[in-house]
Amino acid sequence: MTDMPAKGGRIGVGMEIYEQQNRRQTSGKGHFIAGMAVGIVTALLVVCVGYLGYQIQKKVEDGSRNSQQVNADNAGQNATLGQAVSEKVDILKYMIDQYYYKDDIDRQALENGVYQGLMDAVGDPYTSYFNADDFNTFMEQTTGAYYGIGAYVAQDIERNYPKINSPIPGSPAEEAGLRPNDIIFEVDGVSTYGMDLDKVVSLIKGEEGTSVNITIYRDGEYMDLAVERRQVEIPTVEHEMMEDGMAYIRIIEFDDVTPGQFQEALQTSRNKGMKGLVLDLRGNPGGSVNAVVDVARMLLPEGLVVYTENKYGKREEYRCDGSNEFDLPLVVLVDGNSASASELLSGAIQDYNKGTLVGTTTFGKGIVQQLMKLEDGSAIKITVSSYYTPKGRNIHGTGIEPDVECPFDAEAYYNGDFDNQLYRAKQVLEDMME
């Protein structure tokens, strides 16, 4: 984990202290109640993980009678553990009621902390718990328009903080000066250390016309930015014709509307005399698997697009019939913020030698999450499988290396409006078109 220097006058304060501060801000109950919460989380960990594993396992179609018997045995063991844990939790609750020095304990916050602590203990930043309010907020984000700042966020795995993946063009985030890879240190004074991305987004969103104060960390310095909240329409595809018959299409994210927009952009470019294409996936955080597969079917030859496997070995394949295979020179721009579904597409293009990848190594997210709603309105988002490129590569934690390495020149871009990676992509495409 990479340390960040202390903000303000807090010289010498490392990441460990920031984590402790974040926990104090979240609970606000002091060391004793924090100890109780940790104790409850630890006590619940074994039984809850077993229970979740059992529930997911029931969904897997497995014809093996022996496996079913093992599952039944495990369920019996979990029931025994559940009774013991329940008794211990009752004791801990009694001790809190009897001995904790304050009466104003937020029971709901304590309960939510237990569930979130369980998900955190898995050690996977993409597995998380949503209470009913958080889940409703998360689902509202799928409408395509919201009141926010207009920026995609991603997880900085090394620092365990969220970061700006890319601001949406013309958005309040872009106007305020937010840039890709800015670390989101605090939102309205609340530390974001270890926070799930969806919860970071819920902190940033708010009423139209209000402002949110975001503390970012960039190039060794902290900056406080007040960013206005406005209704943000989320585009997914941009396109234009460049010189010498070169077309440019950028896919910002993979949403349900993306395949249609991409098809329209391709057709428009062909009508304008496209002789080669630069496909820009930089800063693309991913999105819908079905959407990216539909886009891939407009580019790839007949064969496998991607496949997933869960821990039981169940495999699911997504294929292409090759009827719409792209027949012109293709260059794909990628960077360290190209993640998940965008890596799926760029990896397949690379495996089939359908195009040349230019830029820097991608993010490295080769896993799939599933959202599971519970009866009380809460939900969990849990990693359920890994995905593999057509040649069987799982790029989780490593990313996809470009065919042509070209680091981004931020100074030239922000001070001179010169995109050196796009310039290099055009050079590569020009050579391919000759």
DSSP, collapsed to helix, strand or coil, labels residue 137 as helix
Q: Are 365 and 398 in contact (CB under 8 A)?
A: no
| Pair of tokens at residue 369 | 């999450």
351 among known catalytic residues: yes
Location of structure tokens 């997504």: 318
In DSSP notation, 140-178 reads HGGGSEEEE--EEEEEETTTTEEEEEEEPTTSHHHHHT-
Which one-letter amino acid corresponds to residue 307? Y
Among 340, 342, 346, 385, which one carries the catalytic annotation?
A: 340
Whether the CB-CB separation of 112 and 41 falls below 8 Å is answered with no
Q: Look at residue 164 and give its three-state secondary structure.
A: strand
- Give the max Cα distance, the chain: 81
- Indicate left, alpha or beta for 407 from its phi (over 0: left) and psi (-120 to 50: alpha): beta
Tokens 């290099």 locate to: 424
Identify the active-site residue in 351, 381, 385, 426.
351
Return the H-helix or E-strand segment holding 33. helix 30-59
d(CA 259, CA 290): 9
Map residue 169 onto helix, strand or coil: coil
Tokens matching residue 354: 């359908």
Q: Kindly report the backbone phi and psi dihedral angles of residue 387, in degrees, each rounded to the nearest multiple of 5, phi listed first.
A: -115, 155
- CB half-sphere exposure, 402, CA atoms < 13 A: 26
Question: Which entry of 199, 365, 381, 426 is annotated as an active-site residue?
Answer: 365
**Interhelix angle 132-140/197-204, nearest 10 degrees:** 80
Residues with catalytic annotation?
340, 351, 365
